[in-house]
């Protein structure tokens, strides 16, 4: 069913015109979302690597501070 409405100065807008424009907008939005998804994955991976590295170095430092040094002297 194609219904039309008169708009402005003699131009008509049909339902098909509106559906076509919405499909076009969805297509553009899908492209933008796809490119942003790549950046989001990259940011998540980088954040995970940084968190693991910081935890590793803080754990190493804490382990070094806790170790007891025993000196053995011969008399």
Q: Does the residue 30 lie in any domain?
A: yes
Range of the domain at 36: 4-66
Q: Does the residue 24 lie in any domain?
A: yes
Q: By percentage, how much of the chain surpasses pLDDT 90?
A: 20
Paired with 7 in beta bridges are 11
Count up the domains in the chain and report the number. Answer: 1
Q: Does the residue 73 lie in any domain?
A: no
Supply 32's token pair. 């933008």
Rounded CA separation 23/31 (Å): 12
pTM: 0.44
Using alpha carbons, list the distances in angstroms from residue 3 to 10, 18, 59, 62.
Answer: 15, 11, 69, 74
Paired with 4 in beta bridges are 14
> Which pLDDT tens digit goes with each residue over 12-41?
888 888 888 888 888 777 777 777 888 889
């Amino acid at each position: 069913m194609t219904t039309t409405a008169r708009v402005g100065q003699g131009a008509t807008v049909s339902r098909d015109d509106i559906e076509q424009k919405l499909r076009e907008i969805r297509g553009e939005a899908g492209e933008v979302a796809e490119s942003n998804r790549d950046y989001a994955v990259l940011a998540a991976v980088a954040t995970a690597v940084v968190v693991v590295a910081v935890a590793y170095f803080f754990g190493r430092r804490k382990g070094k501070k806790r170790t007891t040094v025993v000196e053995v002297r011969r008399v």
